[in-house]
Amino acid sequence: MQAMQSQLDEQFSRHKAEMEAQQAQMEKQMSQMEAKFEAQQRQFEVFLVQMRAMGMPIPEPARKNTNPLPVEKVPDASSTHNINSHRSSMRSESRSPAV
């Protein structure tokens, strides 16, 4: 029983170390990506300043929509049926010969 517990402890310690190493690697990648993004952002801001200096009209960035449109509700089966029956009656009218 004691040997089994120590084996489990060893496996857990190994797994924990692997997970910590993986997390450290992911954090390093994330900080590299953030640094790259910030550098690209600065380059873009310099580009905009240069374009404005040459007289190019640069639109202001759109403000983030803080009040998004409400999500449309899916029609229930009864309203869908009404639309479909209306469509079929329209089709049958268009097929009938002119009197």
Q: What is the 3-state secondary structure (H, E, C) of the chain?
A: CHHHHHHHHHHHHHHHHHHHHHHHHHHHHHHHHHHHHHHHHHHHHHHHHHHHHCCCCCCCCCCCCCCCCCCCCCCCHHHHHHHHHHHHHHHHHHHCCCC
Reply yes or no on whether the pLDDT at 70 is more than 70.
no
Calculate mean pLDDT across residues 28-53: 95
Q: What is the pLDDT of residue 57?
A: 83
pTM above threshold 0.75: no
Between 24-38, 45-59, 85-99, the lowest mean confidence (pLDDT) is in: 85-99
The gap between the terminal CA atoms of the chain, to the nearest Å, is: 96
